[in-house]
Structure 1
Amino acid sequence: MTLTLGIDLGTSAVKCVALAADGAVVASGQSSFQTFREAPGQAEQDPASWVKATEDAVRQTMTGRDDEVAAIGLTGQLPTLVCLSGTEPQGRAITWMDARADDWAAGRLDEAFRQKTYELTGMPIDGRYLAPMLAHHRAQYPSSIDGILSAKDYLCCALTGVRVTDPSTAAGYGVYDFTTGQWDDGLCRHWVLDPALLPGLMPAASVAGRLGQDAARRLGLKAGIPVHAGAADSAASAYAMTGLEAGAVSVTTGSSTIIMDASIQTFLDPKRRYLLTPHARARVFGREMDLLSTGSSYRWLSELLGWPDGEIDRRATASEPGAKGLFFAPYLAGGEQGALWNPDLRGVLHGLTIQHKAADIARAYVEGVQFEIRRCIDILAETQPVTRIIIAGHATEHPATMQLLADILGRPVTPYTHVSPAAIGAALIAMPEMTAHRQDTETLTPSAAANIYDDFYARYCALFPRIAESRS
């Protein structure tokens, strides 16, 4: 059997899948790595741990198989900064979760520059893009650095020795002009970024290089396998789940939740409420909104209440719609980047009384996350009809949570059950004859409770972010 490997360098683990020529997933593996949080706002990772986790995930995937690997596709977390000297990383990588550059960057962003950046890049710029990250943290790196890469691009370099990026990942550098397909000199000057530090640009489906001898030995593969440039994890996931179908919206839940559609038109939002991201294929764009801490806050709340994974969903069913008047704004990452692009937002539990039970808190949390998903989808629907919604992640394991989402959105919802749509998307990008990874799963339609949730959603929107803003 001839296989294509898809490798997803995610926020907490590397996931690998092997796809047959017909797109079927025949094997998978994954391996986690550490995030360092030694100071307020810090979130750093060791690039060497990414490479080791990639080796482990690929070997798990290929254990017991003697199939031929025809190609490798890549995707990864974004934006995450790696500084290089040659092909060697200099110090730790600063991940997209790191908030230390937020205030510093905000002081260098007036309204005119924010609007100019959005019109050129499609990005509502802040301190979590690579250019401002480097400008803020430059002193912690040696003066000898001669390049910067994002996480996926660094993995490509480690496998092939080539320093390149694709348009969807380039958007995370904060200086990529999607209108020209090139790095913008003016934006580079603003962030005091030498353009010579930036990687070469190529389409996501292009072959970036060939698997080197040493990398092949560590992965247990043959040298010379073509490694494709790949795409950002949001674009790769959406590509696997929707195949660029107009009107289809992918909702990918992990450490964060990514909402994304596809269009051949460049719909910039006058209020800068979403990112306009180059997609996995040329001349297609995705409108993207990222809820920063849904998976992270889910784990936090589970640990706070002493519950095992999945208990929040189970307990939520013991409460009632509207959680007995309790509302939970899930802005727990120190800001938000969904429909509300505001670094000052904070989590709020509103309406709490001694009559409320733990199940009500669980219900309010789940509803709060889903209200934010609806806020994002409603904005996308303002300029392009939303015909179907496909969701991936832990919610697909809980039928009641899936039905709740259909009711809150007021739209049919289809679960996508594979553990890593991003890794599948990376493999599909390296398979030009494939477009999407279809699954035979049942679509859930809104129930009678959908009408009730229109009122609860309106009350939620009236409360948030008004309360958070009044306290910021």
Structure 2
Amino acid sequence: MTTRELLTIGLDLGTSSLKAVAVGENGRCVARARVGYPTAQPELAAAEQDPADWIDACRTAVDTLAQRTDPSSWRAIALSGMLPTLVNLGPGGVPVGPALTWQDGRAEPDGEQIAAAIGAETLYRRTGQRFDGRYLIAMHRRRVRLGVTPADSVVAGAKDYLYQVLTGELLTDPSTAAGYGAYDLHDARWDDATLAAAQVTEVPALAPSDTRRPLRAELAARWGCPVDIPVLLGAADSVLGAYGLGVRHPGPIAYIAGTSNVILGRSATLQLDDLGRFLVTPMEDNGFGLEMDLLATGSAVQWLAGLLGLDSPAALGDLADAAELSSAPMVLPYLSPGEQGALWDPGLRGATEGLTLRTTPAELARGLLAGIVAESRRCIDVLTHATATPGPILVTGSGGTPMAFRRDLADATDRAVHFHGDERDHCALGAALFAGRQVLDWPAGQVSEIPAEVIEPDSSRADLWAQRFAAHDALRLSQQERHR
């Protein structure tokens, strides 16, 4: 008689879809599902979603897992979620109007007023965030100002709302709370002065990521899982994405390459940067994530692929692989426009230097990837200085597929690059592994069973990359000078 494998379920409420995975102790994903939902743009800079779509997607995705596995073997569920995304809740925990995702930029004036009231430097020192209009409390203030939302409505994050639907209790974890813009990292509590400046009166109670509540009985019956199965509160997508990659201690860096790129290192203690170059996020258990985000990476690759008449970003990566770095023109990849990363300069624009009549599409593609690598190197240099514990770069996401990108990233940073190309859902995987660790005492170092492709840095290319980065930065500085 064989022993039945016990499974945990990871749910990731992402920007465009909900991902669900069922995972065993060896890190093997035995079933997965993905259900998408639309984002509405009723006006310039808007990005709205219907919370009901999230719940429908969750039910459908978990229905699929229940069909593909034995639900009686499920032992825990944990959540990961996009950040920051606002859901205002009225009486009975019912959403008031649409949710506003992190892509919504209409509250920038409100963000500026909150930052002016508290002080931008004070906010960073207190919350670890570079405050702007995309934080939840700024979005809420705009809605109240316009009379769209009652001032006393509850300000909640997307994952917080999903947790309420699954368990009946509204809670938020520290990493998600950081995305509100009013979480005091030092005292691990809400900052009353910042909430007041944003006219926020109601927020969820704070609880650790491993907080567990039983799944609602009607949902347990729907899926056929144990009636007492716990649902763990979980953490932000960047935090559990890093966990799924294996970033559990200082040293390794998580590199999640998508439409934009998230670069996250880990510190055992609270670290703030004198120049405010990285954001600070509480991690899933102990320690802090030091996060830097490059804005237009995958989106820039998609743009150039379209410009060159290629059918996909992957085709651009294949094209870049055919060109030598030494013949590639310089490309500044600030196509959003502007850049965060280690620069935080909204005035930067994309640019090229060194184009000739002999420049090929492959060389232009290689130049764009090299520009993204140069900004990645800048971020990783900052994180290396902050943590003093260099380790490998653990890459996931479609943006990490091109071999030229990974080879250049290894050579430019002098770190090994591990690519997890066959695992698409590291945030959901991280949630499931976290649940297994907390509920079933799975090994602390458990990661996906799928082995990574490893590229070691080539020391003979260190000088080439030092020169390339110097030229890249000189071009950036000359652009800044021209546009002053």
- Using structure 1 for the length normalisation, give the TM-score: 0.92
8 Å Cα contact 1:79/1:129 also seen in 2: yes
Q: Which amino acid aligns with 2:84?
A: P
Aligned position for 1:8: 12
1:19 to 20, 23, 28: 23
Give 3-state SS (helix, strand or coil) of 1:89's partner: coil
- State whether structure 2 residue 70 is matched by structure 1 residue 70: no
1:129, distance to aligned residue in structure 2 (A): 0.8
**Other-structure match for 1:50:** 54
Match of residue 444 from structure 1: 455
What is the Cα deviation at residue 155 of structure 1? 1.3
Specify the code of the residue in structure 1 equivalent to 2:470: A
Kindly indicate whether the alpha-carbon contact (under 8 Å) linking 1:29 and 1:58 is maintained by their aligned counterparts in 2.
yes
Tell me: CA distance 1:112–1:184, structure 2 relative to 1, closer, same or farther (3 Å).
closer
Aligned AA (1:43): A
Task: Give me the whole-angstrom Cα distance separating, in 1, the residues matched to 2:42 and 2:327.
Answer: 36
Q: Pick from 245, 270, 275 the counterpart of residue 274 of structure 2.
A: 270
Deviates most, 168-177 or 103-112: 103-112
In the alignment, what sits opposite 1:370? 373
Distance 2:405 2:360 in 1: 19
Counterparts of 1:217 and 1:344 in 2: how far apart (Å)?
54
Distance 1:151 1:304, change over 3 A: farther
* Alignment check: 8 A CA contact 1:11 1:255 kept: no
Tell me the amino acid that sits aligned with residue 70 of structure 1: R
SS at match of 1:289: strand
Counterpart of 2:88 in 1: which secondary structure?
strand
Cα distance change, pair 165–108 in 1 and its aligned pair in 2 (3 A) = closer
Task: Indicate the RMSD between aligned Cα atoms, in angstroms.
Answer: 2.3
Which deviations, in whole Å up to 9, do the C-alpha atoms of 1:344-401 show, x marking residues without a partner? Answer: 4333344445443322332122112111111110001113231221111124543333
CA shift, 1:323, in A, is: 5.0
Amino acid aligned to 2:456: T
Which of 423, 429, 439 pairs up with 2:428? 423
Separation in structure 1 between the aligned mates of residue 67 and residue 142 of structure 2, nearest angstrom: 43
| CA deviation after TM superposition for structure 1 residue 206, in Å | 1.1
Pair 1:191–1:261, CA change in 2 (3 A): same
Q: Does the alignment pair 1:89 with 2:95?
A: yes
The 3-state SS of whatever aligns with 1:453 is helix
C-alpha displacement of 1:140: 5.9
Contact 2:9 2:20 in 1 (8 A): yes
Q: Which amino acid in the other structure matches residue 64 of structure 1?
A: R
**Aligned-partner residue type, residue 376 of structure 1:** C
Change (3 A) 1:343 1:388: same
Q: What is aligned with 1:179?
A: 186
- 1:196-231 deviations in Å (ceiling 9; x for gaps): x20011110111x22224444665655542111100
CA distance in 2, matches of 1:69, 1:140: 45
From the superposition, tell whether residues 122 and 30 of structure 1 become closer, same or farther in structure 2 (CA, over 3 Å).
same
Alpha-carbon contact 1:159-1:211 (below 8 Å) kept: yes
Q: Distance in 1 between matches of 2:318 and 2:211?
A: 44
Judging changes above 3 Å, is the alpha-carbon distance between structure 1 residues 150 and 305 closer, same or farther for their aligned structure 2 residues?
Answer: farther
How has the CA–CA distance of structure 1 residues 190 and 458 changed in structure 2, closer, same or farther, with 3 Å as cutoff? Answer: same
Pick the aligned partner of 1:312 from 309, 312, 316. 316
**Do the aligned residues in 2 keep the contact of 1:117 with 1:123 (CA within 8 Å)?**
yes
User: What's the secondary structure of 2:119's corresponding residue?
Assistant: helix
Give the structure 1 partner of residue 467 of structure 2: 455
Q: Cα distance, 1:247 vs. partner?
A: 1.2
CA distance in 2, matches of 1:221, 1:337: 44
- Residue 241 (structure 1) aligns with: 245
Judge which range, 163-172 or 35-44, deviates more: 35-44
Residues in 2 aligned to 1:285 and 1:18: alpha-carbon distance in whole angstroms: 27
> Which is worse superposed, 107-116 or 454-463?
107-116
Closer/same/farther in 2, CA of residues 33 and 409 from structure 1, 3 Å limit = same
User: Would you say 1:149 and 2:156 are equivalent positions?
Assistant: yes
Cα 1:238/1:267, change in 2 over 3 Å: same
Letter in 1 for 2:435: A
Q: Which amino acid aligns with 2:193?
A: G
Residue 369 of structure 2 aligns with an amino acid whose one-letter code is V
CA contact (8 A) 1:256 1:290 kept: yes
- 1:376 and 1:292 map into 2 onto residues whose CA distance is 13
How much has 1:95 moved relative to structure 2? 1.0
Contact 1:4 1:71 (C-alpha < 8 Å) held by counterparts: yes
Distance change >3 Å, CA 12–CA 330, structure 1 → 2: farther
Aligned counterpart, 2:84: 79
Give the aligned partner of residue 162 of structure 1.
169
Question: Could you tell me how far apart the structure 1 residues matched to 2:132 and 2:70 are?
Answer: 47
The 3 A distance-change label for structure 1 pair 278 and 354 is: same
CA contact (8 A) 1:158 1:215 kept: no
- Taking the aligned partners of 1:376 and 1:212, their CA distance within structure 2 comes to 43
Tell me what 2:195 maps to.
188
Taking structure 1 as reference, are residues 189 and 343 closer, same or farther at Cα in structure 2, changes over 3 Å only? farther
CA distance in 2, matches of 1:465, 1:11: 34
3-state SS, counterpart of residue 117 of structure 1: helix
| Contact in 2 for aligned 1:395/1:402 (Cα 8 Å) | no
TM-score normalized by the length of structure 2:
0.90
State the shift of 1:252 in Å.
Answer: 1.1
1:171-206 alpha-carbon deviations (Å, 9 max, x no partner): 000001011111011111222221xx2001111011
Unaligned 5+ segments in structure 1 are none
Q: Deviations over 1:73-119 (max 9, x none)?
A: 10011011111112221221111112222344235534971111111
Say if 1:334 and 1:140 are closer, same or farther in 2 by CA, change over 3 A.
Answer: farther
Structure 2: 5+ residue stretches without partners = none
Number of the residue aligned with 1:120: 126
CA contact (8 A) 1:90 1:145 kept: no
Deviations 1:424-472, CA, capped at 9 Å, x for gaps = 1111222223434155334211233343122111111222265257437
One-letter amino acid matched to 1:377: I
**1:98 and 2:101 equivalent?**
no
